[in-house]
């Protein structure tokens, strides 16, 4: 018996190890395997932001409508039909009765209202809250909640008071926000004003529904602040309940994500593949080798991050599995526009003249020719020219070293001792400029180095490229812990505001904290303009402010997307410039 007591702990430990190994055993190869350049940050539709998160969300969830792949139009999804009132302010959606969650429960109009409330609440700090503020009463509700939480924090607090405030919040939302569900399959949306692209917004994942009984299990009310706190555990494999073509069966962080066809999906007969696996491969060379070995069927945007010389080698091979496609987006570097940096130092980039100087010093033609080697269209504006019918982009700032030096001098930075570096009137050197980019990204590493060289040569400013891993990069950007940081944006819908809203002072994606009353006023004016031509002129004036006067970011080039896939075998990928890819449509020819 004593001998058994001694070995019992070891037997227990061995059993735990065996169970762990069995649980982590890889599943058979999926029908379709594709690679992203980074790990997914979130599977919560209301909190996503990055392109690969959007792509994954379309696999697991489905909204009222979808974007049609071939022409970029709108097609039914959970909603079978819809009507809009003559004044453009009331939309009525009719939901299909056979829409189901992965547990078999029906998808109801109340599920959409619940999800949209999550996005509107300031508690969850959703990136796309602005999408919802055109709903009648939504902005007033948002502002009231912000004020209520601020007042609560000044009081004694406590669980009872926090719960009471939440009950009041629920009641206020139901009575003041223009969302209603006359029955389980009818959703009525009342807008403050007509929104020409409302249907397009409804196809974006931030407006997808979530399953309330599950999400509620992972929410708590903080008794000290009265704010909702969301545990992401509801998005784990084997836990997540979704309503799209696939269900999540396994998520091994930094390794793989496995989807299986949702047997409850209303359109399951047209889901092309039984299983799909998504794997994050940050190193582009590794990604290409995986494709060449047949381990991956589709490389998404891996080659945009590709090392230039290896891309040239792949491109020159003239194989039919390399596809360079114009994309609906812009590559840029962002300025931190706050008065002070995260460490308390005065921020030189709070001055628009300094930002114009840095922007005018960048030889973008050299970058697309010698750094990216993709020969993308050089960008002087945020919105890709000719990407939106009838909209004319302004000129933006050209490469102009002489102007750049004058701009910097006007801000008080001059080489006062002829040492090749600029100083202020107190003789202090311009702070060393940290250029932050995500680690393991040859594209942005090389871009950052090139930018530093251009600024040293033209402006007499020293720089220090700084890499961070994907997650800490995102955290640093959101917290304002940067001077200049790489950025980029793909249009979420077919209107100039999908880019211009990035610079709106209240927008969740304005991590630069740029604020201009003039710019905000023009966006507000455009929101009320019914005449399409006049509205576009107002938006052009707004873009001119941010791209020629205030310059909160430096546009570098308009994206191309480089895919690798075999068109003979893989079917279902869209080549429309918006590149809205629905993984449920991907299949293989036998």
Give the residue extent of every domain in the chain.
40-235, 239-325+563-588, 329-561
Instruction: Please tell me the predicted confidence (pLDDT) of residue 343.
Output: 95
Short-list 311, 313, 302, 335, CA closest to 441: 302
SS3 track for 495-521: CCHHHHHHHCCCCCCCCCCCCCHHHHH
In this prediction, residue 11 has a pLDDT band, given cuts at 50, 70 and 90, of very low
Q: What percent of the chain has pLDDT over 70?
A: 92
DSSP-derived secondary structure letter, 124: G
Res 418 pLDDT > 80: yes
Which residues touch 544 (CB under 8 Å, ≥6 apart)?
Answer: 394
Instruction: Please tell me the predicted confidence (pLDDT) of residue 311.
Output: 56
Beta bridge partners of 514: none
Evaluate whether 587 touches 274 at the Cβ level (below 8 Å).
no
Instruction: Please tell me the predicted confidence (pLDDT) of residue 4.
Output: 43
For the domain covering 239-325+563-588, report its CATH number.
3.40.190.10
Distance CA 61, CA 45 (A): 8
- pLDDT tens for 156-213 read 889 999 999 999 999 999 999 999 999 999 999 999 988 988 999 999 999 999 999 9
* Distance from the first to the final alpha carbon of the chain: 62
Q: State the architecture of 329-561 in CATH terms.
A: Roll (3.10)
Res 363 pLDDT > 60: yes
Instruction: Please tell me the predicted confidence (pLDDT) of residue 499.
Output: 94
Instruction: Please tell me the predicted confidence (pLDDT) of residue 312.
Output: 58
Res 117 pLDDT > 50: yes
- Which of 12-16, 67-71, 304-308, 403-407 shows the highest mean pLDDT? 403-407
**pTM metric for this prediction:** 0.72
Evaluate whether 365 touches 325 at the Cβ level (below 8 Å).
no
Phi first, then psi, for residue 257 (nearest 5°) are -135, 130
Residue whose entry in the numeric block shows the structure tokens 């890709």: 384
Res 261 pLDDT > 90: yes
- pLDDT tens for 466-515 read 999 988 999 999 999 999 999 999 888 889 999 999 999 999 899 999 99
Distance CA 370, CA 447 (A): 10
Beta strands per DSSP E along 386-483? 433-438, 463-468
Residue whose entry in the numeric block shows the structure tokens 């009231």: 144
Which residues touch 454 (CB under 8 Å, ≥6 apart)?
Answer: 361, 362, 363
- pLDDT tens for 534-555 read 999 999 999 999 999 999 999 9
Task: Please state, rounded to an integer, the average pLDDT across all residues of the chain.
Answer: 90
Distance CA 584, CA 581 (A): 9
Evaluate whether 202 touches 65 at the Cβ level (below 8 Å).
yes
Which residues touch 7 (CB under 8 Å, ≥6 apart)?
Answer: none
Res 308 pLDDT > 80: no
Taking each helix axis as running N to C, give the angle between helix 308-316 and helix 284-292, from 0 to 180 degrees, rounded to the nearest 10. 30
| C-alpha torsion angle, residues 358, 361, 365, 370 (rounded to 10) | -90
Instruction: Please tell me the predicted confidence (pLDDT) of residue 12.
Output: 44
Residue whose entry in the numeric block shows the structure tokens 């979530």: 210
459-471 burial, b at 16+ Cβ within 10 Å, e below that, comes to: bbbbbebbbbebe
Beta strands per DSSP E along 439-543? 463-468, 484-490
Residue whose entry in the numeric block shows the structure tokens 């066809």: 261
Three-state secondary-structure class, residue 337: coil
Alpha-carbon separation of residue 295 from 284, 299, 320, 518 (angstroms): 14, 11, 18, 52
Sign (positive/negative) of CA torsion 395, 560, 202, 204? negative
Short-list 333, 347, 293, CA closest to 485: 333
Evaluate whether 246 touches 276 at the Cβ level (below 8 Å).
yes
User: From 1.10.10.10, 3.20.20.70, 3.90.76.10, 3.40.630.10, which CATH number describes the 40-235 domain?
Assistant: 3.90.76.10
Q: Exposure of 5 by Cβ count < 10 A (0-12 exposed, 13-18 middle, 19+ buried)?
A: exposed
Distance CA 379, CA 388 (A): 16
Q: Output Rg (C-alpha) for the chain, integer angstroms.
A: 26
Res 260 pLDDT > 70: yes
- pLDDT tens for 240-259 read 999 999 999 999 988 999 99
Alpha-carbon separation of residue 261 from 149, 314, 528, 570 (angstroms): 42, 34, 43, 18
- Segment 108-135 shows an average pLDDT of 94
Three-state secondary-structure class, residue 298: strand
In this prediction, residue 519 has a pLDDT band, given cuts at 50, 70 and 90, of very high
Beta strands per DSSP E along 222-274? 228-230, 246-252, 256-261
- Segment 422-449 shows an average pLDDT of 93
- pLDDT tens for 59-86 read 999 999 998 877 778 999 999 999 999 8
Three-state secondary-structure class, residue 356: helix
In this prediction, residue 313 has a pLDDT band, given cuts at 50, 70 and 90, of low
- pLDDT tens for 378-394 read 999 999 888 887 899 99
């Amino acid at each position: 018996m004593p001998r058994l007591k001694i070995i019992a702990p070891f037997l227990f430990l061995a059993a735990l190890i065996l169970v762990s190994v069995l649980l982590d055993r890889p599943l058979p190869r999926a029908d379709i395997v594709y690679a992203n350049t980074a790990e997914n940050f979130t599977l919560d539709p209301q909190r996503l932001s990055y392109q690969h998160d959007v792509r994954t969300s379309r696999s697991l969830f489905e909204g009222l409508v979808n974007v049609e792949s071939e022409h970029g139009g709108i097609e039914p999804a959970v909603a079978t039909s819809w009507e809009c009132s003559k004044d453009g302010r009331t939309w009525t959606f009719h939901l299909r009765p056979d829409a189901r969650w992965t547990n078999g429960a029906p998808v109801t109009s109340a599920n959409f209202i619940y999800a949209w409330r999550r996005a509107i609440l300031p508690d969850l700090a959703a990136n796309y809250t602005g999408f919802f503020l055109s709903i009648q009463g939504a902005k007033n509700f948002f502002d009231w909640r912000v004020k209520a939480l601020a007042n609560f924090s000044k009081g004694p607090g406590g669980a009872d008071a926090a719960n009471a405030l939440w009950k009041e919040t629920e009641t206020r939302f139901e009575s003041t926000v223009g969302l209603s569900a006359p029955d389980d399959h009818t959703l009525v949306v009342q807008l403050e004003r007509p929104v020409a692209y409302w249907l397009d917004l409804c196809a974006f994942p931030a407006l997808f529904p979530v399953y309330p009984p599950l999400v509620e299990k992972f929410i708590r009310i903080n008794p000290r602040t009265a704010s909702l706190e969301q545990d992401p555990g509801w998005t784990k494999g084997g836990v997540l309940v979704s309503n799209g073509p696939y269900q999540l069966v396994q998520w091994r962080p930094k390794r793989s994500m496995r989807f299986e066809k949702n047997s409850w999906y209303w359109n399951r007969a047209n889901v092309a593949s039984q299983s799909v696996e998504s794997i994050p491969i940050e190193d582009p060379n590794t990604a290409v080798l995986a494709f060449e070995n047949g381990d991956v069927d589709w490389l998404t945007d891996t080659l945009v991050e590709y090392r230039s010389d290896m891309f040239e080698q792949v491109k020159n091979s003239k194989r039919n599995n390399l596809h360079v496609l114009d994309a609906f987006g812009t590559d840029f570097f962002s300025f931190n526009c706050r008065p002070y940096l995260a460490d308390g130092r005065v921020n030189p980039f709070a001055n628009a003249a300094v930002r114009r100087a840095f922007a005018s010093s960048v030889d973008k033609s050299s970058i697309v020719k010698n750094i990216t080697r993709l020969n993308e269209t050089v960008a002087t504006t945020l919105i890709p020219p000719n990407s939106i019918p009838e909209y004319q982009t302004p000129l933006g700032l050209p490469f102009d070293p002489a102007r750049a030096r004058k701009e910097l001098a006007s801000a008080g930075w001059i080489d006062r001792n002829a040492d090749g570096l600029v100083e202020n009137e107190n003789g202090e050197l311009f702070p060393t400029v940290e250029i932050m980019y995500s680690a393991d990204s040859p594209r942005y590493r090389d871009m950052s180095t090139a930018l530093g060289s251009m600024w040293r040569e033209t402006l007499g400013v020293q720089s220090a490229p700084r890499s961070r891993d994907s997650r800490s990069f995102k955290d640093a950007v959101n917290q304002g812990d940067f001077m200049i940081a790489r950025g980029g944006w793909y249009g979420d819908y077919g209107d100039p505001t999908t880019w211009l809203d990035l610079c709106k002072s209240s927008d969740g994606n304005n991590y630069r904290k740029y604020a201009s009353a003039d710019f905000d006023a023009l966006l507000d004016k455009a929101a009320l303009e019914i005449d399409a031509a006049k509205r576009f002129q107002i938006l052009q004036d707004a873009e001119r402010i941010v791209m020629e006067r205030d310059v909160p970011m430096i546009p570098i080039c308009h994206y191309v997307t480089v895919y690798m896939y075999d068109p003979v075998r893989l079917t279902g990928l869209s080549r429309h410039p918006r590149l809205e890819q629905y993984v449920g449509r991907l299949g293989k020819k036998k």
